[in-house]
Amino acid sequence: MSTEIKVPVLGESITEATLGEWLKKPGEAVAQDEAVASLETDKVSIEVGAPVAGVMGAYGVQIGDTVSVGGVIGSIEAGSGAPAAAPAKVEDVRQSPPVTPVAASDDQRGGAPTLSPSVRKLVLEKGVDPTTIKGTGKDGRLTREDVLGAPAQAAAPEAAPAAAAPAAAPAADRREERVRMTRLRQTVAKRLKDAQNTAALLTTFNDCDMTEVMAARARFKDAFENKHGVRLGLMSFFTKAAILAAKTIPSANAQIQGDEIVYFDYMDVSVAVSAPNGLVVPVVRDADRMGFADIEKAIAALGAKAKAGTLTMADMQGGTFTISNGGVFGGLMSTPIINPPQSAVLGLHRIEDRPVVRDGQIVIRPMMYLALSYDHRLIDGREAVTFLKTIKEAIEDPTRLLIDL
């Protein structure tokens, strides 16, 4: 007896997805509701559960294929099946070819791990053997973080140079790999290009002295975490500062819709976070009504869901303003692109000690560059500079956040 595996409802107005990876091989035992496949929509990854318990049947679609809501992608057969560690069958290899960039013995290699397209690409770039890395993802699958944390393979000893070597010829082991763009990456590319084509993008810069914020964090971090169960980070300070600035410059929290400007009396802040399949921007809703602890808890929860790949469409929809923190990756300065239909995005960067002048003296201060990219159709240059200056003043004197000044 065979039961069809169908594409579930993906979210409001979402009718298609891309098959990201198969999580079960044909012949493996499957429990009811156990994840058997991962689908990639425009914004999030969604796991497809088995409708019944049984044995994974033949695949109906291949990795990278576009599937529609309600479409059949495979089947579950009656029976007990083989354990999950069973060797891959021929059709499995066709669906997700094993990546073995370095030589390994049969004992080392074992069953080739199933890799998502993004992880496979990263494995090839780093030149590591995926069979030597312990996966921390679901069912022991490798994640991007696992590969990034793996040491590079030791290089083979160099041969002695020839006496008069001719011009070097291309290496025999040079290779190329074509990896189909995920639906998420395609959507990101399209939206970013649409933003450039539609909005009149402009970026203004400033820098801010982080001394007072860092001192406040050092002073209260332990008491804050003991009371609220979450760390006191920088994002809550900048979120509160952006909310304060939006009260002065409401156009930074507005949108152009057709020939109308929509002003919001609330602020839903999109926070750019890194997920296994790329950058995503889940939303902290009603951030303007939250305190520091609530903001930190909301951001921590969204970050954990992004890392686990469990963000939903509801987590991603909406947002009236975006904060992107490139400083966590070491970025010194950038020109972030707005997240349409939003009109502004605040870019944060790394903190570094720099010489500055205070009261006629050159002193060392922890400084951060700030960037505000905005849609010049809606926000004038004076407004953009004022908005960013308000954030700078609030960060350099956090008391302003408490007295709404």
**Residue 18 confidence (pLDDT):** 87
Say if CB 117 and CB 182 are below 8 A apart: yes
Q: Does residue 321 come out as left (phi exceeding 0), alpha (psi in the -120 to 50 range) or beta?
A: beta
- Where residue 42 sits, what CATH number does that domain have? 2.40.50.100
For the beta carbon of residue 3, count every other beta carbon within 10 angstroms.
Answer: 16
For the segment 204-254, what is each residue's pLDDT rounded down to a tens digit? 999 999 999 999 999 999 999 999 999 999 999 999 999 999 999 999 999
Give me the DSSP letters along 2-70: EEEEE----STT--EEEEEEESS-TTBEE-TT-EEEEEE-SS-EEEEEPSSSEEEEEESS-TT-EEETT
**Residue 352, SS3 per DSSP:** strand
pTM above 0.95, yes or no: no
Same domain, yes or no: 79 and 9: yes
Same domain, yes or no: 73 and 104: no
Are β-strands 66-68 and 16-22 bridged in parallel, bridged antiparallel, or unpaired?
antiparallel
How confident is residue 165, by pLDDT bands cut at 50, 70 and 90? low
Long-range contacts of 354-358 (CB under 8 A, 24+ apart): 356/209
Domain around 138: 99-151
Same domain, yes or no: 320 and 381: yes
Helix (H) or strand (E) holding 366: strand 361-375
Same domain, yes or no: 58 and 134: no
Phi, psi of 391 (to 5 degrees): -65, -45
Would 194 be classed as within a structural domain?
no
Residue that wins the pLDDT comparison between 315 and 156: 315
Would 138 be classed as within a structural domain?
yes
Residue that wins the pLDDT comparison between 25 and 11: 25
Is a pLDDT exceeding 90 seen at residue 345? yes
**Residue 277 confidence (pLDDT):** 66
| CA 369 vs CA 112, 234, 265, 349: distances in Å | 45, 14, 29, 6
Same domain, yes or no: 143 and 252: no
| CA 27 vs CA 57, 112, 147: distances in Å | 6, 16, 28
Say if CB 396 and CB 244 are below 8 A apart: no
Same domain, yes or no: 15 and 36: yes
- Give percent above pLDDT 90 in the chain: 49
- Biggest CA-to-CA distance, the chain: 84
Residue that wins the pLDDT comparison between 51 and 94: 51
Would 390 be classed as within a structural domain?
yes
**Residue 370, SS3 per DSSP:** strand
For the segment 354-379, what is each residue's pLDDT rounded down to a tens digit? 999 999 999 999 999 999 999 999 99
DSSP state of 105: -
Active site residues: 376, 380
Same domain, yes or no: 111 and 207: no
Is a pLDDT exceeding 80 seen at residue 190? yes
User: Going along 159-310, which residue ranges are E strands?
Assistant: 201-209, 254-257, 260-263, 269-275, 278-280, 283-284
| Structural domain total, the chain | 3
Is a pLDDT exceeding 60 seen at residue 291? yes
Is a pLDDT exceeding 80 seen at residue 80? no
Same domain, yes or no: 241 and 105: no
- Best CA proximity match to 78, nearest among 13, 29, 124: 29
Same domain, yes or no: 270 and 142: no
Would 172 be classed as within a structural domain?
no
Mean pLDDT of all residues belonging to the chain: 83
For the segment 117-154, what is each residue's pLDDT rounded down to a tens digit? 567 767 777 777 777 787 776 667 777 777 777 765 54
Would 160 be classed as within a structural domain?
no
**Residue 112 confidence (pLDDT):** 52
